[in-house]
Amino acid sequence: MSNTSGSRRKIGALLAVVSVAFWALLPVVSKGLLDTVDAYTLNFYRFVMASLILSVYSLAKSGAPLATARTRWHYAIFGVAVAGLLLNHILFMDALQYIPAGASQIIAQLGPIGLLLVSVLFLGEPFTRRQWLGTLVFTAGLLLFFEQKLGEILAASSAYAGGVLYMSLASLIWIFYGLGQKLLVAVFSPVHILLSVYAVGALVLLPVSEVAIILELDGVKLGLLVASCLTSLIAYICFGESVSRWDASKSSALLAVIPLITLLYENLLGLLLPAHIEPDALTITTTAGAVVVVIGCLTVTRGRQSP
């Protein structure tokens, strides 16, 4: 019995690592497309492919609908969660047009930390002193990472500042999805919420998407498109399977290292595909800031396990 349990935990840990690896790759491959494919079209293709794959995945799982009675309140929260994740996806791709992939993932960490804070305020969940310290460390890391750009960000005087604003909004809007999923976990499965997001998103974006642009893409761009379509979907599925086999807190803590992996991907693929992917110019200060952000996130996500 213990061997089976140990095997499940190992598989869960492996799936968590896979989910982190794919989530970290998403902004890098997507950024390489946005000089050719606009954000709405890119999201349209991502939503279509995700809807198809998630439909097959959902049928393969053969999960019976949750038996809990659903009220109008549940459906209202469901709608907010779907709208929140849809807006998050759209703003995320919009932001990538103006800021590097690594910077996007640094800012994206506002989402998980914001969700914890909102859970404290509205759901009465505990927040330890260590977690407050982690929040301060995270904030210091953000300031350090963006130190050279802080003036133009605060003055909102450039496209870069606009990208930071879009990504910040995307991260904060994600909180509505995260909170909605917390409230609906006994009523709707995460897979059904995701499938609804992608199906609705494809329909909403179809009228404003340049669908035929796919015919003009070369081999590299097509590869980047497929990678962009698959990365977040695989990450969500692997993460969902991971938390059913491994401690959810440990799986969530791994998400904190995504910014560092994204910076690594960005620089490696920048060397391999210099015509398509431009790596962020890292300095000692920005690198230190990224590390401090990760330390802050880890402190916050693991803080509740402290005595």
pLDDT in tens, 126-151: 778 888 898 899 999 999 999 888 88
Print the domain residue range for 271. Answer: 2-305
251-292 pLDDT, tens digit each = 667 788 999 999 999 999 988 888 888 877 788 999 999 999
156-195 pLDDT, tens digit each = 778 999 999 999 999 888 888 777 777 777 777 777 778 8
Number of domains in the chain: 1
Q: pLDDT band at residue 100, thresholds of 50, 70 and 90?
A: very high
| Dihedral, 65, 68, 72, 74 alpha carbons, nearest 10 | -80
Residue pair 180/77 in contact (Cβ under 8 Å)? The answer is yes
Residue 233, pLDDT score? 87
Evaluate if residue 96 carries a pLDDT over 60: yes
What's the rounded Cα separation, in Å, for the pair 292 and 149? 17
Query: What does the pLDDT average to over 75-80?
Result: 84
Residue 247, pLDDT score? 66
Instruction: Look up the pTM and report it.
Output: 0.85
Q: Which amino acid is at 258?
A: I
b vs e for 77-100, b when ≥16 Cβ sit within 10 Å of the residue's Cβ?
Answer: bbebbbbbbbbbbbbbbbbbbbbb
Evaluate if residue 7 carries a pLDDT over 90: no
Query: Alpha carbon 246 to chain centroid distance?
Result: 20
